[in-house]
Amino acid sequence: YDLFLNLIYIFELNFNMNIKKLKEAEIKFGNPLYVYDLSIIENQFKELKNGFRNIKNFKINFAAKSLSNISILKFMKKLGAGLDTVSIEEVKIGLICGFNNEDITFTPNGVSFNEIEEAYNLKVKINLDSLESIKDFSKKYSSYPISIRVNPNILSGGNKNVSVGHDESKFGIPQDYLDEIAEMENKKNIIIEGIHIHTGSDIVELDNFQEAFKKIFLVAKKFKNVKILNFGGGLKIPYFEGDSKTNILNLSNSIKKLINDNSFVTKNNLKIILEPGKFLVGESGYFLTKVNYVKKTPNKVFVQLNSGFNHFIRPIFYDSYHEIINITNPNDKEYEYDVVGYVCEQDNFALKRKISNVRKGDILCFKNAGAYCSSMSSNYNSRIKPAEVCIWKNKLVKIKERENLNNILNGQIDIF
């Protein structure tokens, strides 16, 4: 518990130091703006690596979809991460960023066989999640070892959109089909070198993880050539002071215990992989936008922002909570506001939220905006996407230009 309080304290301290930097970033690069503190990413990476130091052959694969800017990917590589990818584009970007083929795992869901073949041609690790795609693969590439994503039949995760491991989910191979795949392996039609399970995101209950881990070990025993056990991502970060987070030491201890109970892991020197996104980058990110108006109606006070769900969709899509700080006026009396975007639909970022006195022109900062924020932004309403900036060694470094109208018009064909 003390360690937990300590971490919150360090986090707050870090943020207070960052307020100055965030203000500076907005003045220099405008808004809306994404800012990432690389020292937070580094600390998260070290915490995870350190927590698992007792586990031999442990590897962290960063879930590229959570924050896909090439400078972030290269930073992950510098830290020693591999890459978890879900599209052939992510695979290619990973290779461009210098990741080795064997450090990139491609875990597609429902993609065309052509895309799987492209990944095969690029010689990255392939992790298939349907019997149908495995059968197609075995017809042409029976000697290329693959991993399989197994549906653990567990309902866990912070929101229904990120709870992907239950038996009605489109993800993963139902366990009933595993004997058929083992039979294919016996007939030398396929080689299964890895077992993968990803249950969901924002998981804090160790029981849920443990249940999934036990399933991985059980499944692994069905196959003869297993070299990799991949436990997916889903580690939870705190969203507000006192909020829960996944306890890394408890997590690594439970994996360690299962390894000790299953001698085939050490005997075969199996590689143990975790592939977090949110845990590594969530807390590093800040999203800054200006207050266009403070609009009063008889019942409400709306803070109308210079942004919308086109830039920042998590509060709307996942109902996620992000702390909001008025960095222009952080220490004034607090009032209750509905914080909304400018998109022509309901895009409520926060309802009845207490924020330090908000005025027209103030800059608001959303915390925990590193994962699934910029990477999920779109050009809806023909809006351009924000610039992205890093704080690194106390300097501000731009890592993505703000878009302009050409980004929207490019590729469109005028037939009149």
Q: Which amino acid is at 340?
A: V
Question: Please, which of residues 374-413 interact with ligand PLP by CB under 6 A?
Answer: none
Question: If we measure between CA atoms, which residue out of 158, 385, 389, 202 comes closest to residue 285?
Answer: 389
Residue selected from 201, 304, 306, 328 as contacting ligand PLP according to rule CB under 6 A = 201
DSSP state of 203: B
Question: Please, which of residues 14-73 interact with ligand PLP by CB under 6 A?
Answer: 63, 66
Nearer to ligand PLP, 198 or 215 (CB): 198
CB under 8 A, 24+ apart: contacts of 315-320: 315/348, 315/349, 315/350, 316/346, 316/347, 316/348, 316/349, 317/161, 317/376, 318/158, 318/159, 318/161, 318/162, 318/372, 319/159, 320/158, 320/159, 320/239
One DSSP character per residue, 176-190 reads GGHHHHHHHHHTTS-
Nearer to ligand PLP, 19 or 131 (CB): 131
Residue selected from 232, 315, 341, 370 as contacting ligand PLP according to rule CB under 6 A = 232
Question: Please, which of residues 267-306 interact with ligand PLP by CB under 6 A?
Answer: 275-279
Q: How many CA atoms lie within 13 A of 233 on its CB side?
A: 28
How many of the chain's residues bind ligand PLP (CB under 6 A)?
16
Using rule CB under 6 A, residue 320 touches ligand PLP: no
Helix (H) or strand (E) holding 82: strand 82-85
Nearer to ligand PLP, 226 or 274 (CB): 274
Residue selected from 37, 84, 347, 388 as contacting ligand PLP according to rule CB under 6 A = 84
Nearer to ligand PLP, 343 or 376 (CB): 376
Nearer to ligand PLP, 232 or 238 (CB): 232
Using rule CB under 6 A, residue 235 touches ligand PLP: yes
Nearer to ligand PLP, 31 or 375 (CB): 375
Q: How far is the CB of 293 from ligand PLP (least distance, A)?
A: 35
Q: Which amino acid is at 265?
A: V
- Report the chain's C-alpha Rg in angstroms: 23
Residue selected from 198, 271, 311, 400 as contacting ligand PLP according to rule CB under 6 A = 198
Using rule CB under 6 A, residue 311 touches ligand PLP: no
Question: Please, which of residues 97-136 interact with ligand PLP by CB under 6 A?
Answer: 107
CB atoms within 10 A of CB 250: 12
User: What is the binding site for ligand PLP (CB under 6 A)?
Assistant: 63, 66, 84, 107, 198, 201, 232-235, 275-279, 371
